[in-house]
Amino acid sequence: MGTISFDRVGKTYGGKPGGAGGVLALDGIDMQIGEGEFVALLGPSGCGKSTLLNLLAGFEDVTEGTMLFDGHPVTKPGPERGVVFQEAALLPWLSVWENVVFGPRVQGKSKADYEDRAREILRIVGLESFRDALPVQLSGGMRQRVGIARVLVMNPRVLLMDEPFGALDAQTRLSMQQLLLDVWETLKTTVLFVTHDIDEAILLADRICVMSARPGRIAKHIDIDLRRPRSIDDLTGSEFTRFKAAIMAEMRASLAHAH
């Protein structure tokens, strides 16, 4: 599975019980994400993209509305919802292999349950030959590959990715985008991907949800019907340019409306 449903979801920080006097971060979020769909959340800084991701991860509670994962309310974090942050936050004293299998080990799973998958995930993310390396010996992009592998080894039904390539240099970012495209083509996991980079959103996603400035609302859903499989070579061409122009116009309109 891996289906997600937001029905008039709101989030208020602070204030009195009932929301009076607080800061309204999200307002009336309606969004459905199907199994195996890759959806990007795109919007200006502070619009609530990460807040929406944190709600689905179970790190925070909704203030109003209903949020379901596979038909059940989200009440706490769980391994079926894997989260990838901007920084990989690896355990520095553990090797690549030990970092990747840390989750299953903590859960008390036997080696037979996770070792084959861990080896396959390391192969998919191109880190087979670095399994014994420590994080300090890796580049930023390689550390983020380990972070993604560590989540994938848990076999999540959805990947929640919060600007995972935002801290990388431009060249490394492109290679990581291509890696994620290849991983997704192989595993077809449901993905909710937060970014403020229009090119990145178009390259990766089946659908882009453009968010308005705070309080965050879904201003528009834009289907990206570019061919699959995709590559970074698709960042050029008339279709790409058309999508980019439409998204930029939508973002300008939502910002103008906010002011």
Instruction: Give the model's pLDDT for residue 67.
Output: 95
Phi-psi category of residue 197: left, alpha or beta, with phi > 0 → left and psi -120 to 50 → alpha: beta
In single-letter form, the type of residue at position 91 comes to L
Helix or strand run (H / E) with residue 99: helix 96-100
92 Cβ partners below 8 Å, 6+ apart? 134, 135, 136
Q: Residue 106 and residue 56: Cα distance in Å, rounded? A: 23
Instruction: Give the model's pLDDT for residue 252.
Output: 83
By DSSP bridging, strand 218-223 and strand 207-211 are antiparallel
Token representation of residue 17: 């019980």
Instruction: Give the model's pLDDT for residue 18.
Output: 55
Reference 160, options 63, 75, 58; nearest CA is 58
What is the three-class DSSP state of 28? strand
Burial of 59 (0-12, 13-18, 19+ CB in 10 A): middle
Low-confidence ranges of the chain (pLDDT < 50): none
Please indicate, yes or no, whether the overall pTM of this predicted structure exceeds 0.85. Answer: yes
Instruction: Give the model's pLDDT for residue 233.
Output: 85
Instruction: Give the model's pLDDT for residue 20.
Output: 63
For the stretch 104-119, pLDDT in tens is: 999 889 898 899 999 9
Instruction: Give the model's pLDDT for residue 64.
Output: 93
What is the three-class DSSP state of 53? helix
Burial annotation 71-103 (CB, 10 A radius, 16+ → b, else e): eeebeeeeeebbbbbbebebeeeebbbebbbeb
Where do the domains of the chain lie, and which CATH numbers do they carry?
1-80+158-165+189-259 (3.40.50.300), 85-155 (no CATH)
Instruction: Give the model's pLDDT for residue 47.
Output: 87
Reference 6, options 50, 55, 41, 76; nearest CA is 55
What is the three-class DSSP state of 217? coil
Tokens 């490394």 found at: 172
For the stretch 78-96, pLDDT in tens is: 989 999 998 888 999 999 9
